[in-house]
């Protein structure tokens, strides 16, 4: 595995043990969203991200303050590539200040830097539940399409 991919995979596994993998999934979804090149793709993708991660009681709701949620909801009415920047930055800071320092002290990270697989996980990378939009034409708000 490439070092970045191995690190991302290990961090994702760590977040799962803390029941907070929605954070990295949201961040990854935002990165995929920013790669959109056709303007007609933005609205369905933005709605999917919003419905999956941001709206109240979303299936993978990330921890955002009310103001950030409101700004993001307004941004997606006329989406641009930076519609999720504020929310993505908040989630990034949350991971950076909270989860990531714990990850750096975890056995998963120590095993990664020592070049070992953690506790029997196979060497093949598991397909992430995170989505990429270019895998399907009509984006649906049903999050089960990624399971």
Question: Measured between alpha carbons, how far is 52 from 146 in angstroms, rounded to an integer?
Answer: 11
| Residue 44, SS3 per DSSP | helix
123 pLDDT band, cuts 50/70/90, is very low
The pLDDT of residue 5: 75
The yes or no reply on domain 3-146 and CATH 3.40.50.720 is no
- For the chain, the structural domain boundaries read 3-146
The string of pLDDT tens digits covering residues 41-69 is 999 999 999 999 999 999 999 999 999 99
Of 116, 96, 119, 125, nearest to 15 by C-alpha is 96
């Amino acid at each position: 595995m490439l070092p970045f991919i191995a690190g991302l995979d290990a961090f994702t596994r760590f977040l799962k043990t803390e029941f907070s993998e929605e954070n990295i999934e949201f961040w990854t979804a935002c990165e995929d969203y920013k790669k959109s090149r056709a303007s007609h793709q933005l609205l369905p993708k933005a709605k999917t991200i919003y419905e999956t991660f941001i709206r109240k009681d979303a299936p993978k709701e990330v921890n955002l303050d009310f103001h950030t949620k409101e700004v993001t909801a307004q941004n997606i009415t006329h989406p641009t590539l930076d519609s999720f920047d504020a929310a993505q930055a908040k989630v990034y800071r949350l991971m950076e200040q909270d989860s990531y320092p714990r990850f750096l002290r975890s056995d998963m990270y120590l095993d990664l830097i020592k070049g070992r697989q953690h506790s029997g996980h196979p060497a093949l990378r598991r397909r992430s539940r995170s989505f990429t939009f270019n895998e399907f034409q009509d984006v649906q708000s049903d999050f089960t399409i990624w399971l």
